[in-house]
Amino acid sequence: MDREARDAALVRAFELLEAVQNSTEAIDLQGPLRQAIDNGWPDVRFMIHYAEMARDHVAGVGIRSALGRMAQAAEAAGDAAMSVCALAGLSEAGADWEGSGEEPDASDDGGQLPDGVERTLATAVTMLDQGEGSAELRPTAYLHCGIAYHRLGAWGLAIEMMERAERALEVPLRPSLSRVVELTSAVLVLNRVEAELALACEALELGKRETARLLAAHRRRLTPTQCAAVNRSWSQLYLSMTTLLATLAGEPLDAGAHDMLLTGRVDNPWPGSRAYLHLADAIRWLDAGHAEQAARCAEEAVALTDELVPSLRTVCLAIAAQAPPASPAALRYGRELAKARARARHRLEEAARARLRAELHVRQAQHEARHAYVDALTGLASRLAYERHLQRVRRDDDASVAVLLVDVDLFKQVNDTYGHQTGDQVLRRMGSVLLASVRPDDLAARVGGDEFVLLLHGCSAEQAASRADLILREVDAVAWEEVASGLRVSVSIGAAAGRANLIDALIEQADHQMYAAKGRRTR
């Protein structure tokens, strides 16, 4: 029942996130938030804070406070997908992670994003690409990264994030979360269409009419199921955008939908949705060779645009500038400015892609290094890490060190009798015992199949012997019957202590002692 109640609350949180972006009425978020906190539902709590951030953003107030609450909830939950949403939110707001407050603007800085924004988004995307985060929230996290890239002008990257999100949605979820999948898939298409529209408008402004047509013709479309998943406000916004894209693609006009949206019989509070329709009219007039009528429609569109869709506003101004008597010099000037903005935006996007590639390379190298230096089965240091550690110990003339060599008795018989899976479980439990017996400055390593070594820094011979006795008792205390019925496991330990620069001699001495102990234990 708790799982069902939690899933229902999570679905409601997603619906609230949609609602606050499409309503001018006050929506209660505190009640669902208290419920999430009282029941210990970190994912629901996070999504309510996400809705608070979206509400504040729509209202035009600062979102730092809500983003901070999102980050706190993500940290408490330990979920990477939640952390990514908070990171991407900071980038979407144009805020440097270090807190510079720098607003990214490709037209002002030559196409360079503030380094913190690039780094933050690259880190976020790479976390998701490496499979981190809960399945329920990973698509939303990718979506949020896409929105952030869109706001920064990296529209191609935004589309790639939407594609990643769609692939993440293919991971099956519980049937009780089907509404989450419906909502997320529909919102993904809406945001992808916005990015496709931005690219098409840029191409049109640059005079690349055929490119704009092809981009518009290959746009993503909402399925009937997806269209039914979102509220009337968003479905009308989608209809406005697709009316413009259909015009750019040279497709027939849906006159009924066009007239309904343009005359204001709509629920969408954003006036930009009507700007799409005026621009569509302007393009039809322009394609028909009527520059004056096109300019009038474009001027009407300009009055309804804002900074959220910069390519929409600039293409409207470019069309309006063609009204007779148009100045050839002014038109050339406008085209050169459009080219400069496009070049800056492309540099910005390439910089973001380069940062993504670099971040992926770094994290892959870290991942490989962890696997190279950590034994995957036991979690102990690997033989490579042990050899590297020995090199440092040999150079230390003044320190003392103790060596403990540990070998599982008759381990081959364990594998032969109980199978290799049981043998692996024995080694894992041995790893846990040995890890618990070392301090942060010590080293516990697996150097062979069932062979282990401990290097104990600043440890005397008496202390080393005491540590060996402790390990023997801990191994005897393990509930080996839980691993396999009738299983008994013991180990033999050899110990030696002395100066660190004599470590090789100490290892040889410990080896002799270990084999002597094994002879006594296996008679």
Q: List, in order, residues 6 or more apart from 140 with CB less than 8 Å away.
A: 81, 85, 165, 184
- The count of other CB atoms within 10 Å of the CB of residue 317 is 17
Burial of 321 (0-12, 13-18, 19+ CB in 10 A): middle
Contacts of residue 224, Cβ cutoff 8 Å, sequence gap at least 6: none
Query: For residues 74 and 188, what is the distance between their CA atoms, to the nearest angstrom?
Result: 22
CA distance 440 to 231: 56
- Tokens 């990718």 appear where? 142
**3-state SS, residue 279:** helix
Integer-rounded Cα Rg, in Å, for the chain is 32
| The two structure tokens encoding residue 485 | 């019925």
- The 10 Å Cβ neighbour count of residue 405 is 24
108 given a catalytic annotation: no
Spatial distance between the Cα atoms of 317 and 314, rounded to a whole number of angstroms: 5
* H-helix segments, 381-419: 383-394, 411-418
Residue 145 and residue 93 in contact, taking contact as beta carbons nearer than 8 Å: no
Nearest CA to 79 out of 122, 45, 51 is that of 45
For 55, phi then psi, to 5°, come to: -60, -45
Out of 281, 375, 442, 450, the active site residue is 450
Q: In degrees, to the nearest 5, what angle opens at C-alpha 158 toward C-alphas 139 and 188?
A: 40
Q: How far apart are the C-alpha atoms of 451 and 471, rounded to whole Å? A: 14
CA atoms within 13 A on the CB side of 490: 11
User: Active-site residues: which are they?
Assistant: 450
